Amino acid sequence: MPKIVTLPGDGIGPEVTSAAVEVLREVAPDITIEEHAIGGGAYDAYGDPLPQRTRDALQDADAVLLGTVGGAHTSPWNNLPRHLRPESGLLALRKALGCYANLRPVRVQPGLEHLSPLKPELARGVDILIVRELLGGIYFDGDRKIEGDTAYNTMRYTTAEVERVAKVAFWAAEQRKGRVTSVDKANVLEVSELWRRDVQALRDREYRSIHLNHEYVDSVAMLIVSDPARYDVIVTENLFGDILSDLAAVIPGSLGLMPSASLGDGPGLFEPIHGSAPDIAGQGIANPAAAIMSVGMMLRHSLQRSDAANVVDRAVALALREHPTRDLGGRADTRTFTRAVLEAMGTP
């Protein structure tokens, strides 16, 4: 029986997570769900934003469903030393789970094209999956130093690191349109030369049904907003992926529509990309769609239940059309929206 650890966290985290858990219980009643503390609330209760009892619970978990962490900028949490602040709990969690592939789907739901800052004819039908390498590259590996008026960071990747994240991208593309765009800067960077060579070799060896092409990151930055329909799965290294995924996040038009998954050798981590939204916390009006779609990703990527994932995705799309929340210009509150999702799944 799979075990899921939920970490609701702070602000609207508990509101959207409890909506997501309702949906998970409905679609997968055999799953064990265990709730634990993270973030500012965990610091208040245990003096640690990622308490030992939470770390212990991760040991035998199959997947983790995270809400959000952090307070308003007036929160006393912001005066704590950095390692005790809510956000450190999140960074420690990602590190503890060893998640090397971050997946962010960027979709414009039918009927919600008007929310996108793109022209409707460009926004219509956008369905991209960005796979970002999350544990290597210039943010983590290699030498770094700042000394006087000179500073440097080194970007380093190994074939093994490139291949494991590329496999996730190829695997995902097999369930989608079968197209992968690998993004690099191979015209100037040695690391990109290795990246391109290894991604291509893996495709030629093990994923011949996938259509793979290579594009430069600067060109993708332009095309992802001017011609998003050209992309199915995008795979790229840590720094490029950080920037491109935030850029692409503007396309759907609301943070409340952006789920994410982080996969590695241990349990997968699933979370909405939005923050704790202190301005609306406690009012019951947060949009739980991103958290519920994160459950869909968990069913697909960690629990191998793609039928159940499809049920959730379809129900969310229907609920978005018929009961849009306030961030989408509608009137539905968290409760109403969640009920609409449950109903669309065929339950009262």
Binding residues: 94, 104, 132, 218, 242, 246, 275-287
- Residues within window 107-146 making contact with Mg ion, judged by CB under 5 A: none
Stretch of 18-26, 54-62, 165-173, 275-283 lying at the interface with ligand NAI (CB under 6 A): 275-283
Q: Could you say which of ligand NAI, Mg ion, none residue 68 binds, taking C-beta under 5 to 8 angstroms by partner kind?
A: ligand NAI
Residues in binding contact with Mg ion, number by CB under 5 A: 2
Of the residues 142, 266, 278, 330, which one makes contact with ligand NAI according to CB under 6 A: 278
Q: Is 100 a catalytic residue?
A: no
Binding window for ligand NAI (CB under 6 A); candidates: 52-60, 104-112, 181-189, 271-279: 271-279
32-35 and 3-9 strand pairing: parallel
Q: Is 167 a catalytic residue?
A: no
Tell me if 138 sits within 8 A of 153, measured CB to CB.
Answer: yes
Establish if 286 lies at the interface with ligand NAI (CB under 6 A). Answer: yes
In the complex, what is the shortest distance from the CB of residue 291 to ligand NAI, in angstroms, rounded to a whole number? 7
Classified as helix, coil or strand, 262 is: strand
Please state, in angstroms and as integers, the Cα–Cα distance from residue 224 to each residue in 220, 249, 251, following that order. Answer: 6, 11, 9
Q: Which of the following is catalytic: 3, 44, 46, 139?
A: 139
Binding-residue total with ligand NAI (CB under 6 A): 21
> Binding to ligand NAI by residue 44, rule CB under 6 A?
no
Q: Can you tell me the distance from the alpha carbon of 217 to that of 239, in angstroms, rounded to the nearest whole number?
A: 10
Q: Which of residues 58-77 bind ligand NAI (CB under 6 A)?
A: 68-71
Residue 267 dihedral angles phi and psi, to the nearest 5°: -65, 145
- Please indicate whether residue 204 is annotated as part of the active site: no
Binding-site residues for NAD(+), in ranges, read 275-287
Instruction: Determine, following the binding rule CB under 6 A, whether residue 42 of this chain makes contact with ligand NAI.
Output: no
Residues 93 and 50: beta-carbon distance below 8 Å: yes
A 10 A CB-CB count for 262 gives: 26
Question: Of 80, 96, 229, 280, which lies in the binding site for ligand NAI, with binding defined by CB under 6 A?
Answer: 280
Say which of 43, 157, 185, 198 is annotated catalytic.
Answer: 185
Task: Verify whether residue 242 is a known catalytic residue.
Answer: yes
Decide: is 327 part of the binding site for ligand NAI (CB under 6 A): yes
Report the residue number, 61 or 134, with the smaller CB distance to Mg ion.
134
> Could you confirm whether 149 is annotated as catalytic?
no
> 56, 204, 218, 227: which one is catalytic?
218
Which residues lie across from 128 on neighbouring strands? 106
**Which of these is catalytic: 56, 60, 227, 246?**
246
* Residue 244 contacts residue 129 (beta carbons within 8 Å): no
Residue 330's φ and ψ, nearest 5 degrees, are: -100, -160
> Binding of ligand NAI at residue 102 (CB under 6 A)?
no
Pairing, β 63-68 against β 150-153:
unpaired
Long-range pairs of 308-315 with CB within 8 A, sequence gap ≥ 24: 308/27, 308/28, 311/27, 311/345, 312/23, 312/27, 312/341, 312/345, 314/344, 315/23, 315/341, 315/342, 315/344, 315/345
The Cβ of residue 232 has, within 10 Å, a number of other Cβ atoms equal to: 18
Kindly state the DSSP code that residue 115 receives in the 8-state scheme: G
- Write out the residues near ligand NAI by the rule CB under 6 A: 12, 16, 68-71, 87, 90, 255-256, 274-280, 286-287, 290, 327
The residues that are catalytic are 139, 185, 218, 242, 246
